[in-house]
Structure 1
């Protein structure tokens, strides 16, 4: 769980740098790479043993689901400027399950853009997963 949050923080930094340089192509590629290669390919696969294992505790399963939903919710807000309609549609279904508290019927368009959180940056965990 720490790894995917650290990778998301790294993605945010790269995305914001690309926007500052007016490199919208690199910004789009950065978020695409995170979505498919990190979140979908790696993190979803790493969560399956926890979620499908009867030996996993309820707390472990809840924690994994919490991370899945909240990373997805943050990712949708990051993607929204590039893919406004589909992200809003998906976000409407995801946000009630997330930790983000919004009024019923709220739109992703008026939500805060994800911000880099120093506490979630973790070079050690990034290096550990890179080794794997």
Structure 2
């Protein structure tokens, strides 16, 4: 096959147009580089904004937590004041009972309890394994 004939403009480019093509390529590369830099700047700005937003949200959460804690503290103080005004003292925690006292207390409760359907029966089948 014979090479096709090119118009004269293309022939001129083929001979001396190599420099022009190279210049255009360089311009295209520069434009692409500038676009990439612009995109990177935009990305960095977005990241900075996101960081600022996150910091604001964190600060808001901390402020809310502080407010909640202050409210709880105020409620506790109010409750203490009410208790003091009533003249009531907080009840002490019950002392742990030993086994003998516990059995005696349970027997006493059973004696006081009025079972509506009669006294419950114990377990008929012996326990196979006690954990």
Shorter-chain TM-score range: under 0.3
Give the number of the structure with larger relative contact order, counting CA–CA contacts within 8 Å between residues 6 or more apart.
1
Higher helix fraction (1 or 2): 1
* TM-score (norm. length: structure 2): 0.21
* TM-score (norm. length: structure 1): 0.21
Larger radius of gyration: 2
